[in-house]
Chain A
Amino acid sequence: MNIRSQISMVFHLDKCIGCHTCSVACKNVWTDRKGAEYMWWNNVETKPGTGYPTKWEDQEIYQGGWEKNGDSVSLRGAGKLKGLKNIFANPNMPVLDDYYEPWQYRYQDLFDAPEGDDQPIGRAVSLVTGEPMEVQAGPNWDDDLSGTPDYARKDVNFKNVSAAEQDAMFQLERMTFHYLPRICNHCLNPACVGSCPSGALYKRGEDGVVLINQERCRAWRMCVTACPYKKSYYNWSTGKSEKCVLCYPRLESAQPPACFHSCVGRIRYMGVMLYDADRIEAVASADEAELVDRHLDIYLDPNDPEVIKAARANGVHDSTIVAAQKSPVYKFVKEWKIALPLHPEFRTLPNLFYVPPLLPAMASVGEDGNYDSVNETLLVGVEKLRVPISYLASLFTAGNENKVIDVFKKLHAVRVSRRNSTVGDVSEQQLNTCMNEAGFDTHVANAIYRLTSLCTYEERFVVPAAHREESIEMLESAHDYKGNTGFGFKERPARGL
């Protein structure tokens, strides 16, 4: 056993209101720089939709992620031979138009324009060329299904959704959509790290954050194509690639990242998971049908004495083990099993899990044109969902519909259980049926309810501090460092000190 700690995440999609506060928080902290304007380390997509960059899920276009190769995995678009063949040009690179051309408005014209018959306008000016431009696309152009024929109907996940089901999804009054906030998954088997010819990308040992060394990056941009989630971006101004750093300076001081902290809907959870690094290759190369199960198996019980012993032996700090024991992510993913990874078929073993949106159909327009509720009771079962299960299965379980249904049965049971205890109009038979189907009792249902709806800051974010104050003792005298911190020279004077 090679136990390592990994900072992991859960996004509860039933709670996401698509306000983009996370995206803006991230933008303000990290990517409000020249060359980084088009980067959205955090973005919120509307599903169904093509996402950002457009059609990022379609690996026929971008050739990202891993593919099964016997008992191992190999990169779909990179590797020694492919790298040599593509040494002068990376053939599946997204172009700026696959994202969008960033722009700013010339607001000063509103004040400086000479008096005339027309209202002055602030023209859009490209942040790349500096020339006035026609805005053609933006990072969330498909938000809330706007431009549906262009975006939502071209969702890559419709591959296994029948034409009738698709049509139903887009009919007025029956329409359904949900939001999908995305950040870097800080995968256990990151394709970006595997693809970098310069070795500039690495996965931090202490918490598994995947980072790009800006000094070693040589602008190959192999990570841009290799990341199947398209979360590595190329900065055209600095000539280096950049990606989500999971606000590691905040993590190190036991704070959640900016996007987590600012989340209005409190949909985000962060915690430590302990996993067995020796099993990564075997899990990543598992058959598609059991990919999700094998993936979840790699995370180990932090209360198991064997695991604790192995973790300690591997240099995992006690405070990290304690954090792993209190991890909300462990509860969602392992205990309750109601959170699923996004696109596990990319085989990168992502560490961001989503609680899928239940989206119950409350009412719809019938064949006679009348608007009516679809069910006798208020809480409809899993069978009458507006969104086709096959669609969600394509997103979260590599096509395994039963796994999505299992999660929905649990989420539904929690609602029925809560309805029973707050309103009390649920028949005992219905309650028992739901609980049996979900496979847990009201205690668990209440625990899920608590962590979903009444969670405090401390419950949502269990981030162990990085103990930099201890690690510095290995390099310099803590006393001297304390006495000099915040004062000194950026560059030593030529005369010496």
Chain B
Amino acid sequence: MKIKLKLIAVTTGALFYGLGVNAQDGEALFKQTCAACHTVGGGKLVGPDLQGVNKKRTEDWIVNFVKSAADFGAKDADAKAMIAEYGYPMPNQNLGEGDVKAIINYIAANSPTEEIATEGGAPAEEIVAEPADPALDPANASAEDIAFGLKLFSGENRLANGGPSCLTCHNVEHTDLIAGGLLAKDLTKVYERMGAAGLNGILSSPPFPAMNASYKDNPLTEKEIFQLSAFFSDASVNNIYQKQRAYNDNLLLYGGGGAFATIAIVIFFLFLERKRKCVKEDIYKRQTKAASSK
């Protein structure tokens, strides 16, 4: 109850006094950590639209969900249903309770009151957020862009700011790619799952801790994001024709076979030099023959 009162007080405070200090922090934090997957009133991206979430859920609920959606989902039926709806739990966010509260304040400040929300009409129309620049829509990508995206993914072409290539941690089933890393999710169908806007969000400010750490100091450029998205789009569409180049067992076979052959050749040459039999072998053989013919 106390929390609710507090929440109302803060919300109204924010409404009345505009963007406070907390709210300003909240905005920065939201853009940095949430905006990749969520909007406030902008419709569903990768995750749900967070408009009005401050009313829908208690603050504790939100804090727990943000800390570890997977763990919380095991305990809470609502959370579980939410995860089931979006297919996978939200990545754990390394945010303090204060940070989460700041973000909730920001969301609350940007959420219209209930009356306005109901008057606002169907948000379903806005479900797919289009990228601002139509030239950067992966649907408009040329074959070169797709090919370049593939090279960026595989690391054949370095990323402009020196970030690690995607293949290190991710896998995409594609004829021209070897099996990628297993650290992070398989990205074969990522375009279907997240869409252009989702990819754009994640790639421009990665919300996943490991990915965030990797690209914090060397972010992807807008062009690269577009090319990668084009590649992902192509990979997910043409997935049925793209067989992964399966090196798995063959690599072992080639490597092991090569090592075996090398060792065998070395042993063979050493063996060539060896004194291979006892100098008395023919004498012994004759003795044995004579003994057995008796």
List A residues at the B interface (Cβ < 8 Å).
Answer: 50, 53-55, 58, 61-62, 85-86, 89, 91-95, 97-98, 136-137, 147, 150-151
Considering the chains assembled together, what is the distance between the CA atoms of A50 and B280 in angstroms? 10
Please, which residues of chain B bring their CB within 8 A of the CB of A62? 275
Known contacts A136-B284, A137-B283, A89 near B274 by CB under 8 Å:
yes
B274–A91 touching, CB < 8 Å: yes
**How far does the Cβ of B162 sit from chain A's closest Cβ, in whole Å?**
44
Q: Which residue of A is nearest B272, CB measured? A: A91
B283–A91 touching, CB < 8 Å: no
Which residues 242-291 of B sit at the A interface, judged by CB distance below 8 A?
A: 270, 273-275, 278-280, 282-284, 286-287
Known contacts A54-B279, A98-B279, A91 near B273 by CB under 8 Å:
yes
Please, which residues of chain A bring their CB within 8 A of the CB of B282? 150
- Beyond A62-B275, A92-B273, A150-B283, 13 additional contacts (C-beta under 8 Å) are A53-B279, A54-B279, A54-B280, A61-B275, A61-B279, A91-B274, A92-B274, A93-B275, A97-B278, A97-B280, A98-B280, A137-B284, A147-B283
Among candidates A85, A95, A150, residue contacting B278 with C-beta atoms closer than 8 Å = A95
Please, which residues of chain B bring their CB within 8 A of the CB of A50? 279
Please, which residues of chain A bring their CB within 8 A of the CB of B273? 86, 91-92
**How far does the Cβ of A98 sit from chain B's closest Cβ, in whole Å?**
5
Please, which residues of chain B bring their CB within 8 A of the CB of A136? 280, 284, 287
Among candidates A92, A137, A147, A151, residue contacting B275 with C-beta atoms closer than 8 Å = A92
Q: Which residue of B is nearest A93, CB measured? A: B275
Please, which residues of chain B bring their CB within 8 A of the CB of A86? 270, 273
Known contacts A136-B287, A150-B286, A91 near B275 by CB under 8 Å:
yes
Considering the chains assembled together, what is the distance between the CA atoms of A92 and B284 in angstroms? 20
Chain B contact residues: helix, strand, loop or mixed: helix
Q: Could you list 14 examples of A-B contacts with CB < 8 Å?
A: A50-B279, A54-B279, A55-B279, A61-B279, A86-B273, A89-B270, A91-B273, A94-B275, A94-B279, A97-B284, A136-B284, A136-B287, A137-B284, A150-B282
**How far does the Cβ of B282 sit from chain A's closest Cβ, in whole Å?**
8
A91–B279 touching, CB < 8 Å: no
Q: Which residue of B is nearest A100, CB measured? A: B280
Considering the chains assembled together, what is the distance between the CA atoms of A36 and B258 in angstroms? 45
Please, which residues of chain A bring their CB within 8 A of the CB of B287? 136
* Chain B 137-167: CB-based contact to A (< 8 A → 1; otherwise 0): 0000000000000000000000000000000
**How far does the Cβ of A292 sit from chain B's closest Cβ, in whole Å?**
28
**How far does the Cβ of A16 sit from chain B's closest Cβ, in whole Å?**
25
Considering the chains assembled together, what is the distance between the CA atoms of A55 and B283 in angstroms? 12
Please, which residues of chain A bring their CB within 8 A of the CB of B284? 97, 136-137
Q: Which residue of B is nearest A151, CB measured? A: B283
Please, which residues of chain B bring their CB within 8 A of the CB of A54? 279-280, 283
Q: Which residue of B is nearest A150, CB measured? A: B283
**How far does the Cβ of B292 sit from chain A's closest Cβ, in whole Å?**
13
A137–B280 touching, CB < 8 Å: yes
Q: Which residue of B is nearest A82, CB measured? A: B273
With most chain A CB atoms within 10 A of its CB, the pick from B270, B275, B286 is: B275
Considering the chains assembled together, what is the distance between the CA atoms of A92 and B279 in angstroms? 11
**How far does the Cβ of B290 sit from chain A's closest Cβ, in whole Å?**
11
Considering the chains assembled together, what is the distance between the CA atoms of A136 and B282 in angstroms? 12
Considering the chains assembled together, what is the distance between the CA atoms of A335 and B8 in angstroms? 128
Considering the chains assembled together, what is the distance between the CA atoms of A136 and B279 in angstroms? 13
**How far does the Cβ of B291 sit from chain A's closest Cβ, in whole Å?**
9
Considering the chains assembled together, what is the distance between the CA atoms of A58 and B278 in angstroms? 13
Considering the chains assembled together, what is the distance between the CA atoms of A89 and B271 in angstroms? 10
Please, which residues of chain A bring their CB within 8 A of the CB of B286? 150
**How far does the Cβ of A96 sit from chain B's closest Cβ, in whole Å?**
9
The 5 closest A-B pairs by CB, nearest first: A97-B278, A91-B274, A54-B279, A91-B273, A150-B283
Please, which residues of chain B bring their CB within 8 A of the CB of A61? 275, 279
Considering the chains assembled together, what is the distance between the CA atoms of A61 and B276 in angstroms? 10
**How far does the Cβ of A30 sit from chain B's closest Cβ, in whole Å?**
25
Please, which residues of chain B bring their CB within 8 A of the CB of A85? 270
**How far does the Cβ of A94 sit from chain B's closest Cβ, in whole Å?**
8
**How far does the Cβ of B266 sit from chain A's closest Cβ, in whole Å?**
10
Considering the chains assembled together, what is the distance between the CA atoms of A358 and B45 in angstroms? 112
Q: Which residue of B is nearest A147, CB measured? A: B283
Please, which residues of chain B bring their CB within 8 A of the CB of A147? 283
Considering the chains assembled together, what is the distance between the CA atoms of A403 and B286 in angstroms? 39
Please, which residues of chain A bring their CB within 8 A of the CB of B283? 54, 137, 147, 150-151
Considering the chains assembled together, what is the distance between the CA atoms of A151 and B279 in angstroms? 11
**How far does the Cβ of B6 sit from chain A's closest Cβ, in whole Å?**
78
Please, which residues of chain A bring their CB within 8 A of the CB of B279? 50, 53-55, 58, 61, 94, 98
With most chain A CB atoms within 10 A of its CB, the pick from B273, B282, B287 is: B273
Considering the chains assembled together, what is the distance between the CA atoms of A147 and B283 in angstroms? 10
Considering the chains assembled together, what is the distance between the CA atoms of A137 and B280 in angstroms? 9
With most chain A CB atoms within 10 A of its CB, the pick from B270, B280, B283 is: B280
Q: Which residue of A is nearest B291, CB measured? A: A134
Considering the chains assembled together, what is the distance between the CA atoms of A86 and B270 in angstroms? 8
Q: Which residue of A is nearest B286, CB measured? A: A150
**How far does the Cβ of B228 sit from chain A's closest Cβ, in whole Å?**
52
**How far does the Cβ of A133 sit from chain B's closest Cβ, in whole Å?**
13
Considering the chains assembled together, what is the distance between the CA atoms of A97 and B276 in angstroms? 12
Please, which residues of chain B bring their CB within 8 A of the CB of A92? 273-275
Considering the chains assembled together, what is the distance between the CA atoms of A82 and B280 in angstroms? 27
**How far does the Cβ of A262 sit from chain B's closest Cβ, in whole Å?**
30
**How far does the Cβ of B18 sit from chain A's closest Cβ, in whole Å?**
82
Considering the chains assembled together, what is the distance between the CA atoms of A93 and B273 in angstroms? 11
**How far does the Cβ of A99 sit from chain B's closest Cβ, in whole Å?**
9
